Every structure is written in structure tokens, then in C-alpha cells.
Amino acid sequence: MKGLAVSLGLAGRNLLLVRRVPSVFIPSLIMPLFILIATSGAFHGIGALPQFAGASYLAFTIPMAATMGAGFAGINSGMTVARDLEGGFFDRLQSSPAPRVALIMGPMFAALVRSIFTTTIVFIAGLIGGVWLPGLLPLLLIYGFALLFGASASCWAIGVALRARTIQAAPIMQLVVFLSVFMSVAYVPLSALHGWLGNVAKFNPVTYILTASRSAELTGSIIWSETWPGLIAGFGLLILLGIFALAPLRHLENR
Amino acid sequence: MTAAVPVIRQTAALAWRSIVTTVRLPQAWFPALFFPLVLMAIFTASFGGAPGTIPGFPPVRSFLDFAVSGAIIQGVLIGGTTAGAAFATDIEGGFFDRLVASPTSRTSILTGRLGASIALGVGQALLFIAIAAIFGARVDGGLIGIIVVVVIASLFAAAVGGLGVFLALRTGSGEAVQGMFPLFFALLFFSSAFFPLDTMVGWYHDVAALNPITYLVESMRLEIIGGATIWTALAGIGIALGLALITVGASALELRRRLRVAA
Amino acid sequence: MSDQAVETQDLVREYKGGVKAVDGVSLTVESGGIFGFLGPNGAGKSTMVRMLTTLLRPTSGTAIVAGHDVMKEPGVVRRRIGVALQDAAIDPYMTGRELLRLQGVLHGMKRAECRARADVLLGRVDLEDAADRRVGTYSGGMRRRLDLALSLVHEPVVLFLDEPTTGLDPVSRVTLWDEVRRLNVEHGTTVFLTTQYLEEADQLADRVAIIDGGQIVADGTPKALKAGIGHPLLSVVAAEGSTPDDVARVLAGFGEMVPGAREGGAAVRLPGGSTAMADAVRALDDAGVRFAEIDLAEPTLDDVFLASTGRHLAGSDDATA
């Protein structure tokens, strides 16, 4: 219980920093919007492929943009931890009696709050572009998948930060998250993928998260057969990366 | 003649320094090679079904042929931004002041940078064509086609280099120049660099149609996928040259202004 | 509660590559005082503090802080200590008040408690006017005072200050010293302070340990340490018409000579202190030795450092100027 209060306190601090530093705040706002507009605008024509079955390409892109926005928020939480480790603020946290887990949960909560925010922005942009919201349950499911991916990305980035202990590691955090989305079904459904990417995407958990989220967006209902692989992939990813982030907490004092 | 010789030698020496520092620093060249090639691979695998199916898609042998020119332009853009940031870091670090304080000609400070940008642009274009060729891409225009592609790429490299120098002189901060990168990257998406203009609709189509990068890429692309004429080649070269003249001119003016302030 | 604030046995910290930053330190710091941990840069001060504050695991040895083992009960230790580390890492984008409240949350305090405590501490370190400004706008001295306040949120029993005044101007330094003294006297907080400044240790600490190369080379009250060096040093510079040898011949009768201590003259340790100085002047006069300069210097902690390590404490002169 005390861990929760500390986590929330730290999350509040992270969100405060995001709000007060324009060079962090503005990209976090623009990034998912850019992905949505640039992807749906530049590749509009691809929606004519038979595999899309007439779906709107803008609607098709919404879950991907929401996922990317959440991933971006997750990366940023890791970057904050890296900066705190480098600058010494983390020493302050570490020398306090706060539960160690809270040092990870705090930044992760902040990433989740930001993910809710960016996902909402993506939906609003979709509305402006003429894509109506799916039903309440599908909508919540899309938020849920974005949060799952955001939390996973956050665990990944924090895990890297705790090991590297320097902000120089930021490109590694970013690259892996970006590639994990782009090397899935970011632009077209799995059935339309050619060659190497088809094989990579099949084993990429993000493929199943995006497919499930997309199914909710495009059908406006929850089709169980397309949802459960996404849930397994999402929670599996979160558990694995959660372990990745938690493991170095035991060895914080060994450096 | 006697005055021109040291300028050329100094230009060559400064260009050489820029090239060496770029090649020796993986952070400087890795993004310019990695990102365009990875995106090219991902787009080719994602959009392989587009040619022949999507209305408005030009006739091509494969999506890879279509994607090469966009990748080259993207690589030049990333490389140019990194080089501009390096120049700004030079200014921050005092290398620029040392140059100005030395008898080095003022022109060669600029031409040295641009020479390096052009050389790296040529190298990048050839490398990308070669890599794409390994995966089955062909240049329809043959040797002349390759020459046109390389000329446009190098002129565009000069244009980006000029913009980089201008921004570096204006801001004097490597971080600020690097910070412009997302903007340039966005510019690329709002063009036909990755997908044909004719498949876009509404306001997005209109923006891309106004973007000069669209015409640069299309001119290069026709040399690769076929259908180029002397006029499409000249149009591409002309636009790239025009962009280069604007940005290099602006950076020359900015250099003069800065030197006057310093004096 | 134990009478010892800090007690270490053969504490060692070895970094990768076999470098021992702290090499077998056994140290006892009694409760209630101000303890000065003096040493040059890289002597092992910060490594020592990081181990005592649970931030770094010792390679071997034991450390009991505020009555609890830092390795076995780090959680308890953390609740009982306050820590203000070198280069006070404070978010420039947060305000002083926000940081103090966050620190309260980290210590598991209730909301209202955090607020009240923040107000009290802001008043204590005289930052009320700046409380709602972003820390980025603070001066160096204000940051250190805020850092001090942050380390006091939970009323710690032992307070660790790692080089609290490094980089501060003389006025801010004195202000901070007053604050630390007041804390010690009024609240009974034991202060463990590291410093590379002799004057700081001399002014603040009632006990000093000197560390060099990861090992304790001297330990005691400043007074005892200085007394251990020996007697005050009388140095005399010969004037025209006399030679340093003339001076030396006379002074040799008053105590142990210190060769090379004074250029163009000679120096001697005076067991008799300042009374003996008058005798020495008279003797010089009687012998007809003319001198240009004469002074009597009490031993300093630098002399202690010199005597223990054979080196001067680097930068101590300009640092305390």
C-alpha cells in the first residue's frame, strides 16, 4: 500500500516534468498524430488491396498510431530513469526507504497516464478525419492494448536504463520499440505481407496486439478468436519485460 | 589562378576532414544508412502487393525498384542533418573560430563542407543502388540513368548541406540542428518519397503535390523504373539545383553576416 | 539506541579492475557530534558515504549505521538517515516545495504531514520566498540549502553530507555551516560530513578523520591532531647583512629545526609557544642577527595531512581563500 503511494508520487513528478519541459511535451503530443496522419495519408492507396476488404485505411491505422504513442510514452519513462541515474536524482530515491519496486512503478504509471492521453488524441484525430468511435467495449479494448504495449515498452526502456545507467542508451530503447512495431503488421494485415517480413511478423507479439486491437476498431465488436492471441501476446510481453526491468533492482547497490 | 589554388586546396582539405570525421564516427553515418534501408525493406515487404493492384500505382517490376529513390533521398536528408549538427558543434567547440582566425579562405569554410556533403551523397546513392541491386532491383535507364540519379542526389545533398550550414551558423547549436530532423523527416512523408502521388487523396495529395521533394524523387524514380525522358531528368536536376542554390546562397550570406559581426 | 552513529569494521570496496576505493576502514563515529571526513579528491570519501547510505554494497567488512547493519537491514537504515549527496541532483523543473513534498511521499508520509513538514523546513533553510519557484532559477547556495532541507524531511538521526559546500562562494558556505551547526545543536542530529576543505573540517567538526588512498591516516579531534604534529612553527627570514645560517644557529637552541621550511631563513618548532617567541627574538638581537620577517604558525590540518601522507592537501590553499 505504501509502495502504491510512492509510485503515484513518483508518477506525478514524471508527469509534471513532461508538462513543464516543452521539448518533451510537444513531441509526445505530435508523434502519435504524425504517425496517424503521415501513415494514413501517404499510404492511403494501399487500402484498396483485397486483404483490407474495403476497410478505411485511416481506421486501420488508428490502433497502430495509438500503440506507437504508448510505446513512445514508455520509452520516455525509461529515458527519465536513465537521466535520473546519470544526474544523481536516483540516488535520492534509492537512499529513501521507498520500496524498490516503486522506483519502477512510478515512471511506468506516468507512461500509462500518457498512453491514455495520446490514445485519446489519436481517436480525436480519427473523428476529425471521419472515423467514428467503435462501441464502448471495443474502445476500452483498444485503450487496454495501448496500455499493455506502453507498459511493456516502459519496462523495456527502464530495464535498459537500469543496466546502462546513462542517457546514451536512449537510441537502443527507441530503436527496439520502433522496430518491434514496424516489423509487425504496422501497414498491412499479415496476409498481405511479402517475404521475410511475413515470417518475422508471425513471431512478433506486436503483430497479435495490433491485429486484436484492429479487429476491435474495424468491426466495432469484440471477436474472441482475434482477441485472445492479442491478450496472450500482450500479457506475455509485459511479464517477460517486467522481469527484465525488475531483475536489476536486486543489484542496484553493486555498481 | 594563383588565388584560386589555395582555395581549392583548402576546400579539399576541409572536405576531407568532414568526410573522415563522418566515416570514423558510427553515430554519424549509421542512421543515414540504417533507417532508409530498413524502411525500404519494410515497405517493400508490406506493400509488395501494391504494384499492378492499386489504382494509380505506376507500372514497375517490383516495389523495391519503386522504393530505391525514396531511400536515397531519405539517406541524404539524414546524413545532411547529422553533418549540419556536426558543423554546429564545430562552431560551439571553437573549430570555426580557429578557422576564421587562420588565413584559411572564407569561401573554403563553406565549400569544404558542401564538398563533403556532395561526396557523401554520391557515395550514398551508389551504395543504395548497389544494395537494392543485390535484392533484385534494376536501373532501367542503365548507366545514364544511374548518372542522373547520382547527380540529383548529390545536388540535393548540397542543398541539405547548405541548409545545415545555414542553420548551424544561425543557431550555433548542434542540438538545435539535430532537433530540426523530425521536421525534415515529416517533409519526406508529405511527398511521394514512399508511395505514388496519384494514390493520395484530399488535402494530403495537395500538400505532397506542392512539395519539391516529390518531383526530385519522381525524376530519380523514372530513371530506375523506366519512362524517363531528357525532360524529366532535366526537371529533377533543375529542381535540385534550384534548392541547392537557395540554401547555399542563404548560408553564404549568413557566413558573411557572422564574419562581419565577429570582425 | 546505540551510542555510535556509525561503526565500521574493515570496510572494503573494490571496483572492477581491482581498484580499492576504500581499503579496510574501521571507524567509529559517536552520536551527537559533527564528524568531518577529510581527504583529497578520489581519496574514497564518496565511496565511503555511498556504502554508509546503502547506495553501494561493500565488498567486505561491516558497517552499522544508526544502530543497524547497512547490508542486513538497509530499509531500517534508510528510514533513520538523511542524505545530501555531492552535486545535489535536483530537478530544475520542479519547485522547492514540490520536491520537499515528494521527498515526504518517498518516506511514506501522509499528504497533510508532507505539506506541513515542507513548510517548516522551507522556513528553517530560509527558502520561503523561493519555495514556489522552479529550482532551475535557484543559486548554488539555495540549491544546497534545499538539498539540506530535503535530507531532513523525516527527521533523521544521522545526516550524511557529501561535500556540501563544494563550488559555493564564501558567503553561502558560511550560511550553510551555520545551518549545519544549528541542526546539530538544536536538534541533536549527528552529522557525518565529507569535505576536501581543511577550513570546513576545522570550523565545523568536533572530530576529524583523514582518508587518503582509501585508508584512514589520522583520526581524532582537530585539536588533538594538530597537537600531535608538534609545536607551533617559528620562521624567521634573514635581512641584509645576515645569512639564513646565522638565523639557524640562533634558533637551533630553542627546539627542533625544520629544514627547508622557510626560504631565505630558518624555522624551528617552539615547545614554549608564543612566550618562547619573545626569547627567540631577544636571542637573535643579542647575537646581532638582523631579520626581515618573523612569524609563528600554529599547526593546521594541512600539516596533519602533510605529516601523515607526505603531501599537501591539493587545492586547499585556494579553496579556503
The pLDDT tens digits for C53-70 are: 998 999 999 999 999 999
Residue pair A205/A71 in contact (Cβ under 8 Å)? The answer is no
Q: What is the predicted pLDDT for the residue at B83?
A: 80
Query: What is the domain count for chain C?
Result: 2
Regarding whether C209 and C119 lie in a shared domain, the answer is yes
Residue B76 carries which side chain, given as an amino acid letter?
Answer: V
Task: Enumerate neighbours of B (3 or more CB pairs within 8 A).
Answer: A
Question: Which segment of B26-40, C209-223, C298-312 scores lowest on mean pLDDT?
Answer: C298-312
Please report, for chain B, the start and end positions of each structural domain, with discontinuous segments joined by +. Answer: 4-262
Q: What is the predicted pLDDT for the residue at A76?
A: 92
In degrees, rounded to 5, the angle at the alpha carbon of residue B20 between the alpha carbons of residues B18 and B21 is 65
Instruction: Chain B: give the shortest CA distance to residue A172, in Å.
Output: 12
Regarding whether C91 and C200 lie in a shared domain, the answer is yes
Cα–Cα distance, C111 to C124 (Å, whole number): 20
Q: What is the predicted pLDDT for the residue at C223?
A: 83
Q: Which candidate in A253, A254, A255 is best for mutational testing of the C interface (most C CBs within 10 A)?
A: A253
Cα–Cα distance, C42 to C228 (Å, whole number): 26
Query: Residue C310 — very low, low, confident or very high, per pLDDT cuts 50/70/90?
Result: confident
Task: Enumerate neighbours of C (3 or more CB pairs within 8 A).
Answer: A
Full strand arrangement of the beta sheet holding C34-38: C81-84, C158-162, C190-195, C34-38, C207-212, C215-220
Is residue C320 scored above 50 in pLDDT? Answer: no
Q: What is the predicted pLDDT for the residue at B90?
A: 78
The answer to whether chain A touches chain B by having 3 or more C-beta pairs less than 8 angstroms apart is yes
Say if B49 is an interface residue toward chain A (CB within 8 Å). Answer: yes
Say if B25 is an interface residue toward chain A (CB within 8 Å). Answer: no
Set of cell numbers at residue C141 = 547556495
Higher pLDDT, C259 or C208: C208
Q: What is the predicted pLDDT for the residue at B246?
A: 96
Regarding whether C190 and C256 lie in a shared domain, the answer is no
Distances (CA, A) of C10 to C60, C150, C213: 7, 31, 15
User: Which residue range(s) make up the domain with A75?
Assistant: 2-254
Regarding whether C126 and C192 lie in a shared domain, the answer is yes
The overall average pLDDT reported for chain B is 88
Cα–Cα distance, A41 to A52 (Å, whole number): 16
Regarding whether C138 and C18 lie in a shared domain, the answer is yes
Cα–Cα distance, A216 to A134 (Å, whole number): 7
The pLDDT tens digits for C101-134 are: 999 998 888 889 999 999 999 998 889 999 999 9
What CATH number is attached to the domain comprising C68? 3.40.50.300
Query: Residue C1 — very low, low, confident or very high, per pLDDT cuts 50/70/90?
Result: very low
All residue ranges of chain A with pLDDT < 70 are: 1, 255
What residues of A are in contact with residue C85 (Cβ under 8 Å)? 88, 91-92, 95
Average pLDDT in the B115-121 region?
A: 88
pTM higher than 0.90 for the full model? no
Regarding whether C176 and C204 lie in a shared domain, the answer is yes
Query: What is the domain count for chain A?
Result: 1
C307 found inside a domain: no
C115 found inside a domain: yes
Regarding whether C38 and C101 lie in a shared domain, the answer is yes
Q: Which of A210, A172, A161, A157 is nearest to B34 (CA)?
A: A172
* Partner residue opposite B46 with nearest CB, options A45, A50, A197: A197
Regarding whether C287 and C208 lie in a shared domain, the answer is no
Average pLDDT in the B212-230 region?
A: 94
What residues of B are in contact with residue A182 (Cβ under 8 Å)? 38-39, 42
Q: What is the predicted pLDDT for the residue at C321?
A: 30
Q: Cβ A182–B42 below 8 Å, yes or no?
A: yes
Non-local (6+) Cβ contacts of B154 within 8 A are B118, B121, B122, B125
DSSP C105-162: HHTT--HHHHHHHHHHHHHHTT-TTTTTSBGGG--HHHHHHHHHHHHTTT--SEEEEE
Pairing status of strand C256-257 against strand C233-238:
unpaired
Q: What is the predicted pLDDT for the residue at C87?
A: 63
Regarding whether C241 and C122 lie in a shared domain, the answer is no
Q: How many CB atoms lie within 10 A of CB C115?
A: 15
The pLDDT tens digits for A201-226 are: 999 999 999 999 999 999 999 999 99
User: Which residue range(s) make up the domain with C39?
Assistant: 4-220
Q: Backbone phi, then psi, for C176, in 5-degree steps?
A: -65, -40
Q: What is the predicted pLDDT for the residue at B200?
A: 96
What residues of A are in contact with residue C156 (Cβ under 8 Å)? none
Regarding whether C216 and C252 lie in a shared domain, the answer is no
Task: Enumerate neighbours of A (3 or more CB pairs within 8 A).
Answer: B, C
CA within 13 Å, CB half, A107: 29
What CATH number is attached to the domain comprising C280? 3.30.70
Residue pair B225/B66 in contact (Cβ under 8 Å)? The answer is yes
Is residue C319 scored above 70 in pLDDT? Answer: no
Q: What is the predicted pLDDT for the residue at A141?
A: 97
Q: Cβ B50–A46 below 8 Å, yes or no?
A: yes
Average pLDDT in the C314-320 region?
A: 43
Q: What is the predicted pLDDT for the residue at A255?
A: 65
